[in-house]
Structures are given as C-alpha cells and as structure tokens.
Amino acid sequence: MHCERLKANGKNDKAVVCAAMRKLIHLAFAILKSGRPFNPNYAV
C-alpha cells in the first residue's frame, strides 16, 4: 500500500497522512472532471 511504502522509506506520520490526503484529493477531482461514476475495479 502507498502509506506502508512511505513509512518504509522513513517518512514521518504527518508526511504519510498528507500524501494519502493528496492522493485522495487527486482521485476525487479526476472523478468530478471526467463526469463518470467511480469504478473501484478500473485499472490505470
């Protein structure tokens, strides 16, 4: 998982949380911009 990889690379807890929030925000804006419903099985 993304957070576990960051922790293994020596990032502190706050940096890991901020990275996860940023990733979720990017995902949310991409969904809003495309106008298509969220598909959790979509492979990028």
Task: Give tens-digit pLDDT for 3-20.
Answer: 899 999 999 999 999 999
Query: What's the pLDDT band for 36 if we cut at 50, 70, 90?
Result: confident
Task: Flag whether 26 is in a domain.
Answer: yes
Model confidence at 43: pLDDT above 70: no
Number of domains composing the chain: 1
More confident site: 13 or 42 = 13
41 in any annotated domain = no
Domain range for 7: 2-34
Q: Looking at the domain assignment, is residue 39 inside a domain?
A: no
Q: Burial-class residue 5 by CB neighbours within 10 Å (0-12, 13-18, 19+).
A: exposed
Q: pLDDT at residue 42 above 80?
A: no
CA angle at 37 for the pair 35 and 22, rounded to the nearest 5°:
80
- Report if residue 7 sits inside a domain: yes
Segment 33-43 shows an average pLDDT of 83
Q: Tell me what pLDDT residue 44 has.
A: 61
